[in-house]
Structure 1
Amino acid sequence: MIVAFSLAPSTDNTDGSVHNAVAAAVKVVRDSGLPHSTSSMFTEIEGEWDEVMDVVKRATEAVSAYGSRVSLVLKADIRPGYTGELRGKIDRLEKAISEQE
C-alpha cells in the first residue's frame, strides 16, 4: 500500500511555522527504512498495512510534542500484491505523457 499523509500541530508560534514539527515527522519516516517521498505538502510511504500505519502513528506522536493537538490528513492506495508502486506509478505516467507528444 501507499499512504500519502500530512501532519501539522496546533501552534502558538507568532509566524505560524510548523517546520520543526514536520521535520520530526519526516525523520521518523526516513528512519523507518520504507520507500518514501516528501513534497511540500505530503509525505508518501510504501509498505505493508501494519508497518506503514505504525510509521504514521509514530510520526503523529513526534508531531504531538509541538502542540496540544495534531491534524492528520491521510490518503491510502491499497493494492494487495503490488510493490514498487511509489515509483512505478510515476514511471507509467511519464511514459503515457511521452507517448502523447
Structure 2
Amino acid sequence: MLVAFSVAPSGTGNADGSVHDAVAAAVRVVRDSGLPHRTTSMFTEIEGEWDEVFDVVKRATEAVQPYGSRVSLVLKADIRPGYTGELDGKIERLESAIDAQRAGAEQD
C-alpha cells in the first residue's frame, strides 16, 4: 500500500506560522522506519504493508504533538494488494504515458 500523509501542529505560538521543526521530527520517524518513502513540499509518501505503514504514521503524528496544542493529519491511501515498488512504479508509468502522448501529438 501507498500512503500519502501530511501532519502538522497548530497552536504553535509561532508568529510566522512555521512548522518546519515539527515536520522534521515526523520525517525523521519516516526515514528511520526503513520503509520506501518520498517527502515533497506538501506530503510524505510511504510504502509498505498496512500495519507497518500505519505504525509509522502514528509515530510520526506522535512526534509532532509536542510542537503545538493540537495536530492535524491528512491521509490518502492507495491499497493494491500484491503490488510493491509502486512508489516509483506509478511515476514511471505516468512519465511513459506523457511521453507517448507527446510523441502522438508531434505526429499530428
Q: TM (normalized to structure 2)?
A: 0.92
Alignment-mate amino acid for residue 9 of structure 2: P
Say which structure is richer in helix.
2
Alignment-mate amino acid for residue 3 of structure 1: V
**Post-superposition shift, 1:74?**
0.2
> Mapping of 1:3-22 within 5 angstroms?
3-10=3-10, 11-22=12-23
Q: Deviations over 1:27-56 (max 9, x none)?
A: 000000000000000000000000000000
Aligned length: 101
In 1, the alpha carbon distance for the partners of 2:101 and 2:9 equals 42
Task: Please tell me whether Structure 1 or Structure 2 has the larger radius of gyration of its CA atoms.
Answer: 2
What residue ranges of structure 1 are gaps of 5+ in the alignment?
A: none
What residue ranges of structure 2 are gaps of 5+ in the alignment?
A: 103-108
> Mapping of 1:38-77 within 5 angstroms?
38-77=39-78
Alignment-mate amino acid for residue 21 of structure 2: N
What residue is the counterpart of 2:85 in the other structure?
84
Q: Deviations over 1:57-89 (max 9, x none)?
A: 000000001012000000000011100000000
Q: CA RMSD in A?
A: 0.5
> Mapping of 1:27-46 within 5 angstroms?
27-46=28-47
In 1, the alpha carbon distance for the partners of 2:48 and 2:15 equals 37
Q: TM (normalized to structure 1)?
A: 0.98
In 1, the alpha carbon distance for the partners of 2:93 and 2:72 equals 32
